[in-house]
Amino acid sequence: MIVSVKEFPNVRLVNHPLIRQKLTLCRSKQTTNQTFRLLLNEITALMVYELASDYPTRRVEIETPLQKTTGDELATDVILVPILRAGLGMTHEVMQLIPRARVGHLGLYRDETTLLPIKYYSKLPPNLADSEVIVIDPMLATGGSLSAAVTLLKKAGARRIKLLCLVAAPEGIRRMLNDHPEIPVFTAAIDEKLNPRGFILPGLGDAGDRLFGTA
């Protein structure tokens, strides 16, 4: 179920008992890397179901084992753009649900002193302008990296962009609202705040480290 947030008109809060339960387990420091990956995949699937609910479809003719009939297929291309590296942990599950999706990659990291985003890699598919674009990153913290990613995608021609994240901080949401007010932010939770180092509280730690076991 999508819940609107009056304070943040750009947010689409995906609120479901199963998501809340799985997110609670993701937050726990006792959760292993393997279980964290599994939970993130499951939450991603539930969220994408809602994110794609307004995608256009077209009627197609098929033949069942008994007779001809008509059904629906997506009438638009979909491009996934995970932010390296943590965004990769959610991308596979989206591709399971949208197998024809193409994937671009953006490498952005946050300078730990200035908290500003620095781009180190970009490889995007063609035809961004005519595609539905999903930017994927588990954490929306300061919003600097994701705002920079959306700016880059717009310059490359993208016109229909949605942001998919697991947990968002109010500071990052406001940054996206100021910089890209038309971009909907789909998140499973709005957390309390950022700490002085720019990490989300209560958060769930470093999503990349917990996905790939590098902590």
Q: Is residue 207 predicted with pLDDT exceeding 90?
A: no
Sorted by where each starts, the structural domains of the chain and their CATH numbers stand as 2-55+74-212 (3.40.50.2020)
Residues recognised as catalytic: 110, 114, 206, 209
Q: Which of 155-159, 179-183, 203-207 has the lowest mean pLDDT?
A: 203-207
Q: Which residue has the higher pLDDT, 119 or 71?
A: 71
* pTM assigned to the model: 0.92
- The first and second tokens of residue 50, run together, are 């809602």
Mean pLDDT across 105-132: 85
Write down the pLDDT at residue 114: 75
Write down the pLDDT at residue 44: 96
Q: Which of 58, 212, 200 minimizes the C-alpha distance to 140?
A: 200
Mean pLDDT across 166-178: 96
Helix (H, G, I), strand (E, B) or coil at 149: helix
